[in-house]
Amino acid sequence: DSGVTQTPKHLITATGQRVTLRCSPRSGDLSVYWYQQSLDQGLQFLIQYYNGEERAKGNILERFSAQQFPDLHSELNLSSLELGDSALYFCASSVGGDWGEQFFGPGTRLTVL
């Protein structure tokens, strides 16, 4: 158990819909990272937040957005969903804002029908 929690575990929705994925980092970790894992693209970095502020941006679509709240939990919002958005979404956390060891949550499996 990494100490990172993600909800929900599974999410099934329809094209065009909007969903919110939630992540709670390990106690004491200030950074939260979001990743998308699919069979064709592999594990893709989406976005990083550090102590409430956006720190780095990766291959995140404009339809996707994220935020980190004062209690350090984070939410990833996915809107206007397409079939191709079906994937595993992971949240990871770390103590600092650099790119050292990251602790991954169990993931949210999103299926868009």
Partner 1 sequence: SQQGEEDPQALSIQEGENATMNCSYKTSINNLQWYRQNSGRGLVHLILIRSNEREKHSGRLRVTLDTSKKSSSLLITASRAADTASYFCATDAGTALIFGKGTTLSVSS
Binding mask 3-32 for partner 1 (x = CB under 8 A): -x----------------------------
Output the smallest distance, CB 92 to partner 1, in A.
8
Decide: 77 and 68 in contact? Cβ < 8 Å. Answer: no
Question: What's the rounded Cα separation, in Å, for the pair 67 and 51?
Answer: 10
Residues 79-98 that bind partner 1 (CB under 8 A): 88, 90, 92, 98
Closest CA to 36 of 11, 17, 60, 12: 60
Question: What's the rounded Cα separation, in Å, for the pair 105 and 23?
Answer: 8
Please work out the total of residues on this chain that contact partner 1, with binding judged by CB under 8 A.
24
Q: Does 33 bind partner 1 (CB under 8 A)?
A: yes
Identify which range of 14-22, 65-73, 77-85, 99-107 contacts partner 1 by CB under 8 A: 99-107
Decide: 9 and 109 in contact? Cβ < 8 Å. Answer: yes
Answer for which of 45, 60, 73, 79 binds partner 1 (CB under 8 A) is: 45
Q: What 3-state DSSP class applies to 9? A: coil
Longest dimension (CA), the chain: 38
List residues near partner 1 by CB under 8 A.
2, 4, 33, 35, 42-43, 45, 48, 56, 58, 88, 90, 92, 98-107, 109
